[in-house]
Amino acid sequence: MKLIQGGVCAAKGFRANGVHCGIRKNKIKKDLALIVSDVPANAAAVYTTNLVKGAPLLVTKKHLSNGVAQAMICNSGNANTCNANGVEVAEKMSELVAEIVGVDKEDVIVASTGVIGQPLDITPIKAGLPSLVSGLSSDHLGARAAAEAIMTTDTISKEVAVEFEIGGVTCHLGGIAKGSGMIHPNMATMLCFITTDVKISAAMLAKAVSSDVQRTFNMVSIDGDTSTNDMVSVMANGLAGNAEIVADGADFEAFMTALNTVTVGLCRLLAGDGEGATKLLECKVTGAASLSVAKTVAKSVICSSLLKSAMFGADANWGRVLCAIGYSGAAVEVDKIDVAFRSAKGTVAVCKNGAGIDFSEEIAKEILLENEIEILVSLGEGAFEATAWGCDLTYDYVKINGDYRT
């Protein structure tokens, strides 16, 4: 398996584009993205667990009830959530795509991201579709344009793709994602669109996606807020030509590995680009008595506002790690916990068997001044492990969200 360029256009038979159609006031920023498969694709998605759900999610869930999709349209700048005509607008978006691209309107995935509670005008979307479609491309530029068009407060576009083999056949899988704030582990917690040319049944694709998000996107937290429009969708058009994956086995495991490689890469990009963030935080928990305990501890540590603040200040305040573990609800033996911090500058152990140990504050400071920090937690009780991703908490987070709507 190798990382390659191309994002959602890395797989055979996919084209993408992104344009500015006028939803966003800033004409420099793209605000409408489209991904199209040359043929109908098996598809699956997972959605936010927030009880308040954006209209696009309701429409997409209905469209994917048969496990098939051929196109995805997403706008930024407006979430189309909590609007009386939201479903009508989302359905109209799919109808417009169907008409101009030549696909079934029920085979269109619809997504929106941006401000909640403001009506979404279909006019700029309708006006922008001709240029959006005419510019569809199967190269990395098309994928990059789509990745840019789904951004909100993101500072960088996010895309990852891999090439791998299934049964001796070369396959590809790639994805784009957006997310910088309102990100918390409670399903997908952002927008992510994945494409692959692997031939896999809709049932096995759904199994793969629902399983993978539990150890990837469900393990990312920026600020503890779960959004209303979050979704991860995957389209698999089968054009690689491998024997169809219809059951567990070596081929399915190879697909899962490829999917996980892309989603972990996107998770790291999301966490590192958290609103106002200066550092990517990665909490690795080992030695847990169960997977549930490992995940609970990792998420609790990465969600701690006090720890996130300490990481911003490069303060090796390991007590905040123990505190987060203590209120996580996980059954752990405190006197077996070890904690260390690691970065490109080295590793410093700060806690052994639940108690502080002597360490150099100067060395710890140097380690924590790096822009990628690992928080290593050993529970000393078993063989299970889990990883969670987040970022530091900075002054800029408040600045960004203080006037986000206005």
Q: Are residues 74 and 134 in the same domain?
A: yes
Cα 31-33-34 angle, rounded to 5 deg: 160
Q: Which residues pair with 3 in a beta bridge?
A: 162
CATH number of 154's domain? 3.60.70.12
Residue 118 reports pLDDT greater than 80 = yes
Residue 181 reports pLDDT greater than 60 = no
Q: Are strands 231-236 and 191-196 parallel, antiparallel or unpaired?
A: parallel
Tokens of 312: 């911003």
* 320/324 Cα distance (integer angstroms): 6
Q: Are residues 134 and 10 in the same domain?
A: yes
Residue 404 reports pLDDT greater than 90 = no
Q: Which of 373, 387, 49, 377 is nearest to 216 (CA)?
A: 387
Q: Which helix (H) or strand (E) holds 339?
A: strand 338-343
Contact indicator for 274, 394 with CB cutoff of 8 Å = no
**Which residue in 81, 113, 152, 189 is the catalytic one?**
189
pLDDT digits (tens, 9 = 90+) for 327-381: 999 999 999 999 999 999 999 999 999 999 999 999 999 999 999 999 999 999 9
Q: Which helix (H) or strand (E) holds 351?
A: strand 346-352
Cα 57-204-169 angle, rounded to 5 deg: 115
pLDDT of residue 30: 97
Question: What is the reported pTM?
Answer: 0.89
Residue 27 reports pLDDT greater than 70 = yes
* 285/386 Cα distance (integer angstroms): 5
Q: Dump the DSSP string for 31-72.
A: -EEEEEEEEEEEEEEEE---SS--HHHHHHHHHGGGSEEEEE
Domain coverage including residue 377: 280-402
Residue 277 main-chain phi, psi, to 5 deg: -70, 145
pLDDT of residue 50: 74
Q: Are residues 264 and 294 in the same domain?
A: no
Q: Are residues 124 and 228 in the same domain?
A: yes
Of 248, 272, 296, which one is at a domain's C-terminal end?
272
pLDDT digits (tens, 9 = 90+) for 47-103: 987 777 889 999 999 999 999 999 999 999 999 999 999 999 999 999 999 999 999
Q: Which residues pair with 113 in a beta bridge?
A: 76, 78
Of 244, 272, 300, which one is at a domain's C-terminal end?
272
Mean pLDDT within 134-138: 98
Q: 124: helix, coil or strand?
A: helix
Active site residue 228: no
CATH number of 341's domain? 3.10.20.340
Q: Are residues 255 and 295 in the same domain?
A: no
Of 272, 304, 327, which one is at a domain's C-terminal end?
272
Residue 231 reports pLDDT greater than 50 = yes
Q: Are residues 9 and 133 in the same domain?
A: yes
pLDDT digits (tens, 9 = 90+) for 261-284: 999 999 999 888 877 789 999 999
Q: Could you say which DSSP state residue 155 is in?
A: S
Number of domains the chain is built from: 2
Q: Are residues 329 and 386 in the same domain?
A: yes
Q: Are residues 244 and 285 in the same domain?
A: no
Q: Which of 239, 109, 263, 251 is nearest to 174 (CA)?
A: 263
Please, where are the H alpha helices in 222-279?
250-272
Mean pLDDT within 114-134: 95
**Between 202-215 and 250-272, two packed helices, what is the crossing angle to 10 degrees?**
40
Q: 316-335 in b/e burial notation, b at 16+ Cβ within 10 A?
A: bbbebbbbbbeebebebeee
Q: Which of 122-136, 142-156, 187-201, 234-248 has the lowest mean pLDDT?
A: 187-201
Higher per-residue confidence, 179 vs 289? 289
pLDDT of residue 234: 98
* 50/187 Cα distance (integer angstroms): 9
pLDDT of residue 402: 75
* 116/278 Cα distance (integer angstroms): 27
Question: pLDDT-derived band of residue 208, with 50, 70 and 90 as boundaries?
Answer: very high
pLDDT of residue 189: 45
